[in-house]
Amino acid sequence: MTGVLLVAAVIAAATVAGMAAEPRLPDSGQAIARLLTRVLLWGLSPVIYFFTVARLQLEAGVGVGLAFGYLELAIVGGVAWLAATRLLRLTRPRAGALVVCVILANTGYVGLPLTTALLGSDQLGFAVAFDSGISGPMFLVVAMTIGGLLGSRAGERGSWAALLRNPPLWAVAAGLVAPDALAPDALLSLAHALVWVMIPLAFFVVGLTLGAEAEEGALRFPPALDRPVVTVLGLRLLAAPALMVALATLVHRVPDAYLLQAAMPCGANSVLVAHLCGLDLRITASAVAWSTMLVLVAAIVVSPFVA
């Protein structure tokens, strides 16, 4: 439980610090956010991903589990689109925001530390595989394409070129073919330690972004909890993990980390997609805030019962 409480405390403190700093950095806040994002993407993430995947012991269910991850996201994404357009009758930018929030999970900045805290470092490699193999392409290709099609302004559309410029993806590919000798215990321990360095940096960036959105009126406190946001929470936090568990029963030994990653909150990258493409920022920011809070509370509650 101590590890989960530490994760929650660091996330909260870093996010609040970023939001508090943003008004004091009106001209350079976003420049700092971009710099820290590059440090995370090009510096910390490849090191973590390479060494953990290089020591990953592949077993039955690993590859099939990734296929199940895409299948469950396709299903909940389709349901999200039907709910947004047929039930809630949202405008295209609001419907796009709802769908993107459902299909993008924070399997990196929340999923990796929670996997370590709840399941142990032995499962971290599987969590990394899920994050890079599913969440990365879902962000760069699927979510950005949805944003480009449904947003109120022209945004950066998803492309395979952007996917191939993703350093963590190449780090995972290299780790899969690297011999164990290239990932000695000392460097593996370093990779595990860097997960905890990544958390405050990542959520300081999230705080800077949310602070900017709050100033523009896209986020209020407490965050909105209207029908679209409740729909996102139900699909992202309940339907997606339940579907993943059901699919996992079809194959022996799908990694526990996959099941946990399927239950992660809305990804912070949802805010980036909404900002670039003109999707509804109020739905996006509120869904990210509420889902992250709920996942952290749930993790604290269940942590004493997890071996």
Predicted local confidence at residue 46, as pLDDT: 86
pLDDT, one tens digit for every residue, the chain (307 residues) = 667 888 888 888 888 888 888 878 766 677 787 788 778 878 888 888 888 877 766 665 567 888 899 999 999 999 999 999 999 999 999 999 999 999 999 998 899 889 988 988 888 888 988 888 888 888 877 888 888 888 876 444 444 555 556 677 788 778 878 887 887 888 888 888 888 888 888 788 778 877 776 666 656 666 778 999 999 999 999 999 999 999 988 877 888 999 999 999 999 888 778 877 888 888 888 898 899 999 999 999 888 877 5
Predicted local confidence at residue 101, as pLDDT: 96
Alpha-carbon gap, residue 139 to 268, rounded angstroms: 10
| Sign of the C-alpha dihedral computed for residues 294, 36, 10 and 114 taken in this order | positive
Q: DSSP assignment, residue 22?
A: G
Contacts of 117 (CB under 8 A, 6+ apart): 3, 4, 6, 7, 299, 303
Alpha-carbon gap, residue 270 to 283, rounded angstroms: 10
pLDDT tens-digit readout, 97-120: 999 999 999 998 899 889 988 988
Predicted local confidence at residue 195, as pLDDT: 82
Contacts of 280 (CB under 8 A, 6+ apart): 91, 93, 94, 96, 97, 274
- Residue 32 CB-density burial (10 A; 0-12 exposed, 13-18 middle, 19+ buried): middle
Angle subtended at Cα 78 by Cα 265 and Cα 124, rounded to the nearest 5 degrees: 35
Predicted local confidence at residue 99, as pLDDT: 97
Contacts of 288 (CB under 8 A, 6+ apart): 101, 206, 210, 265, 266, 267, 268, 270, 271
Contact 108, 292 (CB under 8 A): no
Predicted local confidence at residue 266, as pLDDT: 95
In order of their start, the domains of the chain are: 2-305 (1.20.1530)
Predicted local confidence at residue 27, as pLDDT: 64
Predicted local confidence at residue 215, as pLDDT: 66
Contact 121, 270 (CB under 8 A): no
pTM of the model: 0.82
pLDDT tens-digit readout, 216-241: 665 666 677 899 999 999 999 999 99
Expressed in angstroms, the distance from the first to the final Cα of the chain is 10
Neighbour count for residue 166 (Cβ, 10 Å) = 18
Predicted local confidence at residue 88, as pLDDT: 94
- Phi, psi of 13, deg, nearest 5: -65, -45
Contact 104, 77 (CB under 8 A): no
